[in-house]
Amino acid sequence: MNINTEILFSAIVATGIAGALSKFFSLPIRSARWHFLLTRLWVPGVALFLLSAVFGVKSERINDVYWLLVFAATAAMLVRLRNYRPARTVLLAMAPFVLWFGLEFLVALFGNRLIREYEDVFETAQGFTIFWMITFGLIARSQKKQLEAERLVREEEEKAKQRIEAQNSELERMVSERTAALTQQAEELRYTLTELKTTQAQLIQAEKMASLGELTAGIAHEIQNPLNFVNNFSEVSSELLQELEEEQQKPNRDTELESELLADLKQNLQKISHHGHRASSIVRGMLEHSRASTGERQLTDLNALCDEYLRLAYHGLRAKDKTFNATLDTHFDPTLGPVNVISQDVGRVLLNLLTNAFYAVQQRQKRQEPGYKPTVVVSTNNRAGCTEIRVRDNGMGIPENVKQKIFQPFFTTKPTGEGTGLGLSLSYDIITKGHGGSLSMESEEGKGTEFIITLPI
């Protein structure tokens, strides 16, 4: 093969290598500019071929210059793609061969004598660079396959991500529709809740009125006693005044008798005043119970309050059932001082608990058990940091399956028409939420029930 033909052959080989590299590195996608330049590497070869043919140049160095140009262009392309791992590997694969080729070219410029003397060395070096280039070429090929596999995985992940996003979008649409439906339901529930609250307020008011009715009946019975005393002592006092006037009109007045009459009159007036205050106290308690609670706390004698409402609840039930009688047992702690509470609210709680206690013993009394004596016990105790009030009865007791529901609103064990089921619920809220205390219950079916109120001092 002559020199000119060798240049033309080199151009064809370089074009093939450039096409292979362009395809290997996907240059049309990665860099259209370098793809264009590499696929035009045959142009300098053809130009050198024509120049050498026209001017009759026969030097072998023309072909070497062309290859150096090819190597330079390829190296520049690989440097441009240095972020792509196979490109760095191919650059490393070419480096020894290009170095060997450049060294041989420089040595050949000064003559071929040195090359002939060290021909074995140059051939060995050439073989090593070719082996090196093939080895790292295979490594680059393996790296490309690995990156391609990773790219496919990423594409699958991206597709999966897109599918997930599509599903999320669909779910968001469904959630939006469901949210709109729930919002509409919430509005309907809010309207229903408003109606329920209105009904509840009416029921609570009915419960208060029922409680007030029971209290009024007890007060009517309780107030009758001091009024009877007032009437009786008023009549006796009128008789004493009449005797005193008659004695004063006598010519011979008995001063000793007049003193006795005045002393009796004074004692009667004191008793009238005492029982009048007693009646006023009962009326005042009735007014306090009937009016809405102001929420203001005041120091209250709980012993007196318990005693007051015990008798009012008892006489309230007796006003309905004249045949009912029960033993009232009190154990009040004398060391218990005034406690800062809302007296009207605590009074309502006591009235509810005591009314329930008397109702329980009344129901058991109707069974006519031999030897049964209805008894309601009220006791107070001064504990460490708190005051304890206990209301115990020996009535029917509460079944186990009912105990957990006893403080629930609208739950009642009484027959229809005899209770709203709000008494204990309201009492629980007054003690726990209104006073920061506790209201608990202990009961044994067939033996009785005890309610325990604990109020912080």
Strands (E) located in 32-113: none
Q: Is the overall model pTM greater than 0.85, yes or no? A: no
Mention every residue, 6+ apart, whose C-beta is less than 8 A from residue 239.
none
Q: Which two tokens stand for residue 121?
A: 């060395």
For 132, residues 6+ apart whose C-beta sits below 8 A from its C-beta are: 93, 96, 97
Query: Both tokens of residue 44?
Result: 């300098």
Q: What is the pLDDT of residue 388?
A: 92
Roughly what angle, to the nearest 10 degrees, separates helices 343-365 and 302-320? 40
> Radius of gyration over alpha carbons of the chain, in Å?
57
Residue with tokens 């107070």: 380
CA–centroid distance for 132 within its chain: 68
Residue 254 in 3-state DSSP?
coil
Residues 53, 4 contacting (CB under 8 angstroms):
yes
Q: 430, 345 in Cβ contact below 8 A?
A: yes
State the 10-residue block means of pLDDT for the chain, 457 residues long.
68 85 84 84 80 67 81 86 86 86 78 70 84 88 86 89 90 88 86 78 61 57 65 75 76 75 78 72 56 70 90 82 87 89 87 89 87 92 88 88 75 59 79 88 88 90
Residue 217: C-alpha distances to residues 174, 293, 314 (Å) = 62, 21, 10
Number of Cβ atoms within 10 Å of the Cβ of 194: 10
Whether the CB-CB separation of 420 and 409 falls below 8 Å is answered with no
* CATH code 3.30.565.10 region(s) in the chain: 294-457
Helices (H), 250-323: 255-290, 302-320
For domain 294-457, the CATH superfamily is Histidine kinase-like ATPase, C-terminal domain (3.30.565.10)
Q: Kind and range of the H or E element at 15?
A: helix 3-24
For position 354, what pLDDT does the model report? 92
240 and 265 in contact (C-beta within 8 Å)?
yes
The pairing of strands 339-341 and 386-393 is unpaired
